[in-house]
């Protein structure tokens, strides 16, 4: 009981802090914020990305939306473990599963989808610190689309968080962030892996503001 | 009347004015588009509703005295700077310069006003920030578009922090025979400049035909400009009794700050248009962002401050 209260309090504080610093605003361009099992796939530039996306969801949807995060980073300290496992109920995956022998990330995500929850994933696989707007996608998104055609795949562009908290910096700069939700995509009939991943990547890029 | 009565009288009048405006807005909406969306009227009503909040915030700040006013404008600066930097191209190498702007320059500016150190708060940003920020960026070792980046961060600080801070700085002026009434000076500045924006909007919507600067702003008209500035100069003249000015002085000062306010709106529109956006943000329903609301005050406040400092303080 007390534990749940603490978890809820920490979640509210983290969301409140993210709001205060970034004034984060969800822009629902291609779909509505309703109950619907989804995989939100977003660009990834900061450890705070999933917090921002999560904050942009209506509170009612947050409980059933779980971020997918790398266990190598998030299991390193007790605080991180508490935040990621207890507060955000993240689905932890091992990106190095081929060497470590732990479960295949796609299997782990599919199991989580079995429970009816929505997921937040970052198909670039790692934080993007390059000048490129978006790195090439890893294949997990395709496997999810193939295995669960009933789940909506929603592209989500997170704008500006890379400037708020670049990789390796400790002090966040308060800048306004927006989280844009695009139109869901589905695997088309006889669409191959490369074509699908390309189309998904383009759908995500289409949400990004123009470059100046 | 005591300063307290004058302040209450002033807020009472503004409240009455807002009640009338709210009623007019709702009646117009009822007769022209009840239940249907109407771009102009819905925006008008959103703007009027937002004014209730803004007047409420200023009223609360006034109730808090000097500390309340300083806190309110420090927040205004924070929101404005955040909007400005959000729309500005910066790079990784600017991280420390930006952190310094938000977490050192901004609080320091308002702290210096709190302790009334004029010699420092008037040069902190134009001199020290001007020198230190590009040093931080250079030390980060990124030369790409360097001058442009350094200029933009400096400009953001000048407009959002330095200029806006001149509003609470009015509280530090020692005007003989005007002790304990400084809050009314702030009320005069904000009322005249903001009402000029409102009057320009009303005159422009009713009679506006010719755009005054079509390449920069799609909404500012010649008719709105003259009607707005004339109306607010009249209002400023009528409010001479809350200031240390004679009526003719109040008229000239009101006219000058309205002109500066208009110019401020024009300059900030030019930046928005160059960046391809309509508003600076979404903080204030109907108005856009904080900078959309305070752009005129940014440009008017330093001029107002120095006119009074030059002619009304010993």
The verdict on a CB contact (< 8 Å) between A173 and B85 is yes
Are B297 and B180 found together in one domain?
Answer: yes
Structure tokens at A134: 């978006």
Neighbours of B96 (CB within 10 A): 17
Are B178 and B305 found together in one domain?
Answer: yes
Task: Using CB atoms within 10 Å of the CB of residue A198, give its burial: 0 to 12 exposed, 13 to 18 middle, 19+ buried.
Answer: middle
Whether B165 maps to a domain, the answer reads: no
Whether B114 maps to a domain, the answer reads: yes
Res A211 pLDDT > 70 = no
Q: How far apart are the C-alpha atoms of B232 and B200, rounded to whole Å?
A: 9
Are B52 and B180 found together in one domain?
Answer: no
Are B294 and B193 found together in one domain?
Answer: yes
Are B193 and B303 found together in one domain?
Answer: yes
pLDDT, tens digit, for every residue of A108-117? 999 999 999 9
Q: How far is CA B257 from CA B70, B188, B229, B236, B296, in A?
A: 21, 11, 9, 10, 9
Res A149 pLDDT > 90 = yes
Determine the average pLDDT of the residues in A69-93: 90
Q: How far apart are the C-alpha atoms of B87 and A160, rounded to whole Å?
A: 10
Q: pLDDT (tens digit, 0 to 9) for every residue of chain B, 314 residues total?
A: 688 888 999 999 999 999 999 999 999 999 988 888 888 899 999 999 999 999 999 999 999 999 999 999 999 999 999 999 999 988 888 999 999 999 999 999 999 999 999 999 999 999 999 999 999 999 999 899 999 999 999 999 999 999 999 999 999 999 998 988 899 999 999 999 999 999 999 999 999 999 999 999 888 999 999 999 999 999 999 999 999 999 999 999 999 999 999 999 999 999 999 888 889 988 888 889 999 999 999 999 999 999 999 999 98
Give A90's pLDDT tier (boundaries 50, 70, 90).
Answer: very high
Are B278 and B191 found together in one domain?
Answer: yes
The total number of structural domains that make up chain B? 3
- What is the ipTM for the molecules in this complex? 0.84
Whether B168 maps to a domain, the answer reads: no
What is the domain range of residue B76? 65-159
Whether B280 maps to a domain, the answer reads: yes
For residue B251, give the nearest of B314, B310, B192 by alpha carbon: B192
Which of chain A's residues have a Cβ under 8 Å away from the Cβ of B95? 166, 169, 171, 173
Are B95 and B57 found together in one domain?
Answer: no
Q: How far apart are the C-alpha atoms of A89 and B313, rounded to whole Å?
A: 63
Give B239's contacts (C-beta < 8 A, 6+ positions apart): B188, B191, B192, B250
B232 CA to chain A: closest CA distance, Å? 34
**Helix, strand and coil in chain B, % to nearest 5:** 80, 0, 20
Residue ending a domain, among B159, B188, B212, is B159
Are B204 and B237 found together in one domain?
Answer: yes
Which of chain B's residues have a Cβ under 8 Å away from the Cβ of A176? 82-83, 86, 281
**Cβ–Cβ contact B98 with A under 8 A:** yes
Locate the chain B residue with the closest alpha carbon to A165: B95
Whether B307 maps to a domain, the answer reads: yes
Handedness of CA A10, A12, A18, A21 (dihedral sign): negative
Whether B19 maps to a domain, the answer reads: yes
Are B246 and B312 found together in one domain?
Answer: yes
Are B203 and B312 found together in one domain?
Answer: yes
Are B57 and B79 found together in one domain?
Answer: no
Residue ending a domain, among B14, B36, B63, is B63
**Cβ–Cβ contact B133 with A under 8 A:** no
Whether B166 maps to a domain, the answer reads: no
**Edge-to-edge, what's the strand order for the sheet holding A65-70?**
A25-28, A178-181, A152-159, A38-42, A118-121, A65-70, A91-93
**Residue A212: its pLDDT value, please?**
54
Residue ending a domain, among B30, B63, B96, is B63
A175, A179, A180, A211: best mutation site toward chain B, by most B Cβ within 10 Å? A175
pLDDT, tens digit, for every residue of A33-59? 988 999 999 999 888 899 999 999 998
Which of chain A's residues have a Cβ under 8 Å away from the Cβ of B90? 163
A27, A127, A129, A176: best mutation site toward chain B, by most B Cβ within 10 Å? A176
The verdict on a CB contact (< 8 Å) between A176 and B98 is no
For residue B300, give the nearest of B193, B213, B149 by alpha carbon: B193
Whether B92 maps to a domain, the answer reads: yes
Residue boundaries of the structural domains of chain A:
2-60+120-205
Are B188 and B289 found together in one domain?
Answer: yes
């Amino acid at each position: 009981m007390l534990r749940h209260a603490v978890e809820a309090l920490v979640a509210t504080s983290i969301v409140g802090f993210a709001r205060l610093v970034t004034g984060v605003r969800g822009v629902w361009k291609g779909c509505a914020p309703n109950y619907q099992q989804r995989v939100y796939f977003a660009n990834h530039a900061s450890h705070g990305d999933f917090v921002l996306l999560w904050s942009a969801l209506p509170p009612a949807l947050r409980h059933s939306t779980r971020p997918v995060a790398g266990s190598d980073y998030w299991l390193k300290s007790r605080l991180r473990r508490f935040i990621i496992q207890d507060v955000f109920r993240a689905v932890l995956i091992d990106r190095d599963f081929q060497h470590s022998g732990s479960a295949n990330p796609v299997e782990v995500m599919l199991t989580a989808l079995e429970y009816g929850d929505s997921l937040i994933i970052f198909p670039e696989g790692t934080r993007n610190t390059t000048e490129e707007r978006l790195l090439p996608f890893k294949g997990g998104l395709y496997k999810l689309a193939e295995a669960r055609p009933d789940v909506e795949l929603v592209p989500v562009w997170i704008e500006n968080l890379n400037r708020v908290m670049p990789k390796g910096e400790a002090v966040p700069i308060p800048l306004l962030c927006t989280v844009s939700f695009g139109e869901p995509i589905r695997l088309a009939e006889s669409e191959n892996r490369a074509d699908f991943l390309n189309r998904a990547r383009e759908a995500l890029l289409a949400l990004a503001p123009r470059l100046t | 009347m005591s300063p307290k009565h004058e302040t209450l009288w002033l807020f009472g009048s503004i409240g009455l004015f807002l009640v009338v405006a709210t009623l007019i807005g709702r009646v117009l909406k009822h007769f022209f588009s009840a239940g249907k969306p109407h771009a102009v009227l819905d925006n008008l009503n959103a703007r009027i509703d937002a004014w209730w909040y803004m007047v409420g915030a200023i009223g609360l700040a006034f109730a808090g005295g000097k500390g309340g006013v300083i806190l309110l404008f420090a927040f205004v600066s924070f929101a404005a700077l955040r909007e400005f930097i959000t729309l500005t191209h910066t790079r990784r190498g600017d991280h420390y310069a930006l952190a310094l702007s938000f977490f050192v320059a901004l609080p320091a500016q308002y702290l210096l006003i709190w302790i009334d150190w004029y010699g420092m708060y008037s040069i902190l940003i134009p001199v020290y920030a001007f020198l230190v920020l590009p040093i931080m960026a250079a030390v980060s070792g990124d030369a790409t578009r360097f001058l442009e980046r350094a200029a933009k961060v400096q400009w953001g600080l000048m407009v959002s922090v330095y200029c806006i801070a001149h509003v609470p700085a009015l509280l530090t002026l020692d005007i003989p025979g005007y002790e304990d009434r400084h809050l009314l000076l702030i009320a005069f500045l904000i009322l005249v400049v903001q009402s000029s924006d409102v009057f320009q909007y009303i005159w422009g919507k009713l009679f506006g035909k010719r755009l005054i600067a079509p390449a920069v702003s799609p909404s500012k008209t010649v008719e709105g400009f003259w009607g707005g500035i004339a109306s607010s100069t009249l209002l400023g003249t009528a409010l001479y009794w809350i200031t240390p000015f004679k009526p003719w002085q109040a008229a000239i000062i009101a006219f000058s700050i309205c002109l500066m306010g208009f110019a401020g709106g024009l300059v900030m529109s030019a930046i928005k248009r160059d960046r391809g956006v309509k508003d600076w943000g979404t903080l204030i329903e109907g108005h856009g962002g904080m900078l959309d609301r305070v752009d005129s005050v940014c440009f008017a406040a330093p001029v107002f401050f120095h006119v009074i400092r030059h002619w009304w303080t010993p």
